[in-house]
């Protein structure tokens, strides 16, 4: 028995108890170090990944924090709708522990079936006929497919161009005064279309070095110029740069990011950044007939893991609504993509006016694509000039 004396009291601590405390403290430290060592020594596929932590934090209900405050002040609970004032903590803990949402079977199937993670994307605004079975997707081609040389029908491209030029666009009533305010680029530059490739019928082979989605971006720039909006088109072949630097296909967004950053530094007038892609879906999902004429449908893709998400989403949603009003059925909607298996940013964290647009699919013709680009330019020009009015400084008051 050990005793500590003081002028006012005596505290006695049994020696055996003190030893137990010290032993437990040492054992506790050893267990912590052992646990940390075990976790860090695991193979990467068995570790707790940042995506797992991100999933838990993203799916932690916001109302939970309000309920925590309501324990001290019951008025906080009155801020929630009646149907959301009750929460199933068992379901929430189950979701956090397993990453499976009992209300969404996709969360279970996505981790068990190969390729099913594709359907983790979220439909923010559904266009006509758009659901989780036909959302836009892109398949990464093997290297030999990218390097293969294929014959393309330049005649069809020239014919589509001539037909498109026959459509007259009234001279613009206002212009950007020579300033190029829209930057158009193509992260997957060699995505092409089967009708333009001679003898190619396999959608997985719809890639070409020159006759590809870049022609769609160039046409969009031309259509914007006709409406008084200056546009700049990137001439960088991202796939060629990847091959030159020995990088993988999934690193294409890293390469295109460099292109966008350089453009921003070179031209401070740039306000909007549009990444044009081609969907891998077949014709029945990517084509619509409007007034007896076929158009290639478009879809707006927003990265769900970027700081500018809300502004990007607002831009895409308004463009969708304008297209729906002018060309019903042309837009397939606004899709959010994030999580494992996708980029999650798509360079949209660089600007609050950045979007990715899927224009058509593997079976669309350039004639259909050019019609859609013209319609897209109509919608964008209406949005742009309206935004310019809103952002214009108020006239000075007369004194």
Query: What pLDDT is stored for residue 130 in this prediction?
Result: 87
Query: What pLDDT is stored for residue 89 in this prediction?
Result: 59
3-state secondary structure of 398: coil
Same domain flag for 73 and 157: no
H helix or E strand, kind and range, residue 276: strand 272-277
Q: Does the structure show a pLDDT above 50 at 28?
A: yes
Please report whether residue 383 resides in a domain: yes
Please report whether residue 121 resides in a domain: no
* Among 81-95, 151-165, 353-367, the least confident range: 81-95
Residue 191: half-sphere exposure toward Cβ, Cα within 13 Å = 29
The structural domain count of the chain equals 3
- pLDDT confidence bin for 241, thresholds 50/70/90: very high
Same domain flag for 65 and 210: no
Kindly report the number of other CB atoms within 10 A of residue 249's CB atom.
16
Q: Hunting for tokens 């630097």 — which residue is that?
A: 245
For the chain, the farthest-separated pair of C-alpha atoms sits apart, in whole angstroms, at 105
Rounded to 5°, angle at Cα 301 from 300 and 306: 135
CA–CA distance, 60 with 96 (Å, rounded to integer):
8
DSSP 167: S
Kindly report the number of other CB atoms within 10 A of residue 93's CB atom.
10
* Among 20-34, 63-77, 243-257, 272-286, the least confident range: 63-77
Strand order in the sheet with 272-277: 122-126, 331-337, 298-303, 354-359, 272-277, 180-185, 230-233
The full 3-state SS of 222-239, as one line of letters, equals: HHHHHCCCEEEECCCCHH
Counts of helices then strands in the chain (DSSP H, E):
13, 11
CA–CA distance, 299 with 276 (Å, rounded to integer):
10
Q: What is the pLDDT of residues 243-296, one digit of tens each?
A: 899 888 888 999 999 999 999 999 999 999 999 999 999 999 999 999 999 999
Q: Are 139 and 280 in contact (CB under 8 A)?
A: yes
Boundary-marking domain end, from 79, 103, 127 = 103
Please report whether residue 396 resides in a domain: no
Q: Does the structure show a pLDDT above 80 at 3?
A: no
Q: In this predicted model, which residue has the larger pLDDT, 242 or 4? A: 242
Q: Which range of residues forms the domain containing residue 368?
A: 143-391
Please report whether residue 317 resides in a domain: yes
Please report whether residue 256 resides in a domain: yes
Same domain flag for 210 and 322: yes
Q: In this predicted model, which residue has the larger pLDDT, 168 or 117? A: 168
Q: What is the pLDDT of residues 87-141, one digit of tens each?
A: 565 665 666 555 555 555 555 555 554 454 555 678 888 888 888 888 887 766 6
Please report whether residue 123 resides in a domain: no
* Among 4-13, 27-36, 182-191, the least confident range: 4-13
Q: Hunting for tokens 């007896």 — which residue is that?
A: 292
DSSP secondary structure, 48-73, as one string: --HHHHHHHHHTS-THHHHHHHHTT-
Mean pLDDT for all residues in the chain: 80
Same domain flag for 18 and 62: no
- pLDDT confidence bin for 33, thresholds 50/70/90: confident
CA–CA distance, 136 with 134 (Å, rounded to integer):
6
Residue 350: half-sphere exposure toward Cβ, Cα within 13 Å = 24
Please report whether residue 399 resides in a domain: no
Same domain flag for 170 and 267: yes
Please report whether residue 248 resides in a domain: yes
The full 3-state SS of 319-380, as one line of letters, equals: HHHHHHHHCCCCEEEEEEECCCCCCCCCCHHHCCCEEEEEECCCCCCHHHHHHHHHHHHHHH
Same domain flag for 276 and 175: yes
Same domain flag for 199 and 83: no
pLDDT (mean) for 188-210:
91
CA–CA distance, 177 with 167 (Å, rounded to integer):
24
Computed from CA positions of residues 28, 33, 39, 42, in that sequence, does the dihedral angle turn out positive or negative?
negative
Query: What pLDDT is stored for residue 40 in this prediction?
Result: 57
Same domain flag for 75 and 204: no
Kindly report the number of other CB atoms within 10 A of residue 356's CB atom.
25
Query: What pLDDT is stored for residue 222 in this prediction?
Result: 96
Same domain flag for 289 and 339: yes
pTM of the model: 0.72
């Amino acid at each position: 028995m050990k005793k500590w004396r003081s002028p006012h009291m005596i505290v006695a601590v049994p020696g055996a108890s003190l030893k137990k405390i010290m032993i437990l403290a040492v054992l506790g430290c050893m267990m912590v170090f052992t646990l940390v060592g075990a976790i860090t020594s695991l193979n990467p596929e068995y570790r707790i990944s940042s995506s797992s932590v991100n999933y838990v934090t993203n799916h932690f209900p916001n109302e939970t924090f309000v309920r925590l405050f309501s324990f001290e002040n019951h008025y906080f609970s009155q801020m929630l709708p009646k149907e959301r004032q009750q929460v199933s903590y068992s379901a929430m803990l189950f979701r956090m522990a397993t990453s499976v949402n009992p209300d969404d079977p996709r969360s279970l199937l996505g981790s068990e079936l190969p390729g099913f993670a594709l359907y983790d994307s979220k439909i923010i605004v559904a266009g006509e006929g758009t659901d989780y079975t036909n959302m836009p997707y892109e398949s990464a081609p093997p290297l030999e497919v990218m390097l293969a040389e294929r014959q393309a029908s330049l005649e069809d491209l020239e014919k589509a161009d001539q037909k498109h030029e026959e459509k007259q666009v009234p001279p613009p009533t206002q212009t950007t005064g020579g300033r190029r305010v829209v930057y158009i680029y193509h992260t997957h530059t060699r995505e092409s279309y089967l009708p333009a490739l001679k003898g190619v019928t396999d959608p997985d082979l719809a890639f070409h070095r020159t006759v590809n989605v870049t022609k769609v971006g160039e046409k969009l720039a031309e259509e914007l110029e006709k409406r008084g909006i200056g546009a700049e088109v990137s001439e960088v072949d991202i796939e060629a740069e990847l091959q030159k630097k020995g990088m993988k296909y999934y690193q294409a967004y890293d390469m295109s990011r460099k292109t966008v950053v350089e453009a921003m530094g070179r031209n401070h007038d740039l306000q909007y950044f549009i990444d044009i892609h081609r969907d891998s879906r077949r014709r029945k999902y990517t084509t619509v007939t409007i007034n007896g004429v076929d158009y290639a449908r478009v879809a707006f893709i927003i990265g769900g893991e970027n700081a500018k998400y809300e502004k990007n989403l607002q831009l895409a949603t308004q463009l969708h609504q304008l297209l729906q009003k002018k060309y019903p059925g042309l837009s397939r909607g606004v899709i959010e993509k994030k999580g494992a298996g996708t980029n999650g940013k798509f360079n949209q964290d660089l600007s609050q006016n950045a979007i990715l647009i899927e224009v058509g699919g593997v079976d669309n013709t350039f004639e259909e694509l050019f019609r859609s680009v013209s319609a897209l330019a109509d919608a964008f020009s209406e949005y742009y000039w309206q935004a310019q009015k809103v952002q214009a400084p108020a006239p000075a008051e007369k004194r």
